[in-house]
């Protein structure tokens, strides 16, 4: 696998990172969209730049109503086509029949098992045939994301490119962008949420907590990834 990655200036603008990553992928590239502020900003940046970027979303079966509202707003505003992926029905059925509805709160292993079924396996299908994928991850979000690169090789998903155009953005910068552009924003942000995933695994955070403190709040910070972004 050729490891040649685009050479980008430090603190390169998100538009430049996105454009260079798509060009370097030399094939279809899609955004993994959870309808966060980050993902909405990336969709707008790609639209403004005229970049060809697909969008896929994983419906875990436990998303908030407010998340679906953002999806519908994006479809209307950008005439966006969203490719939806769902966990395999039998896998969810077997998990809940054997372990109950809230087994993911019993241990880290059981939470990983739930995420593997609801998120990781659908992601593997979503990435099939892609030359690269785009995420809204930012270094500021948590200690698990502090070593992000603008464009990197995703060894765990066949060596395709992984593009992180907002890696240097601060939360303040992100909020300012979405307000300036009047982009669709999940209503839960106004209720104290700063990172939004599955409804049972997400809650509002306090002002002195980091952005992902409300995700799997019963776990240690170094474990707060679902498996989509294993490093």
Q: Which residues are catalytic?
A: 226
Q: What are phi and psi of 227, to 5 degrees?
A: 110, -15
CA distance 73 to 79: 9
Joined together, the tokens standing for residue 10 give 């430090």
Determine the length of the chain. 231
**Exposure on the CB side of residue 222, measured as CA atoms within 13 A:** 0
Going from the C-alpha of 44 to that of each of 82, 126, 147, 178, 228, the distances in angstroms are 14, 21, 25, 9, 23
CA distance 36 to 187: 11
What DSSP letter does each residue of 171-214 carry, written as one string? HHHHHHHHHHHT----GGGGGT-SS---GGGB----TTS-TTTT
* Strand ranges (E), 64-211: 83-85, 132-134, 151-154, 160-163
CA distance 229 to 110: 18
CA distance 167 to 141: 9
């Amino acid at each position: 696998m050729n490891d040649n990655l685009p050479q980008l200036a430090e603190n390169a603008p998100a538009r430049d990172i996105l454009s260079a990553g798509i060009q370097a992928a030399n094939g279809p590239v899609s955004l993994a969209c959870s309808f966060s502020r980050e993902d909405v900003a990336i969709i707008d940046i790609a639209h403004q730049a005229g970049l060809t970027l697909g969008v896929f979303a994983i419906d875990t079966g436990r998303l908030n109503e407010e998340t679906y509202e953002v999806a519908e707003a994006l479809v209307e505003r950008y005439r966006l086509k969203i490719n939806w992926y769902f966990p395999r029905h039998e896998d969810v059925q077997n998990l809940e029949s054997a372990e109950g509805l809230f087994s993911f709160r019993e241990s880290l292993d059981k939470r990983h098992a739930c995420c593997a079924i609801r998120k990781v396996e659908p992601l593997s299908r979503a990435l099939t045939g892609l030359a690269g994928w785009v995420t809204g991850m930012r270094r500021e979000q948590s200690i698990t994301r502090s070593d992000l690169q603008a464009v990197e090789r995703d060894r765990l998903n066949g060596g395709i490119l992984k593009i992180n155009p907002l890696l240097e953005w601060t939360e303040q910068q992100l909020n300012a962008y979405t307000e300036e552009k009047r982009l669709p924003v999940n209503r839960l942000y106004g209720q104290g949420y700063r990172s939004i995933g599955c409804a049972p695994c997400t809650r509002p955070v306090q002002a002195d907590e980091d952005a992902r403190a409300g995700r799997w709040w019963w776990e240690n910070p170094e474990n707060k990834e679902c498996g989509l972004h294993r490093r």
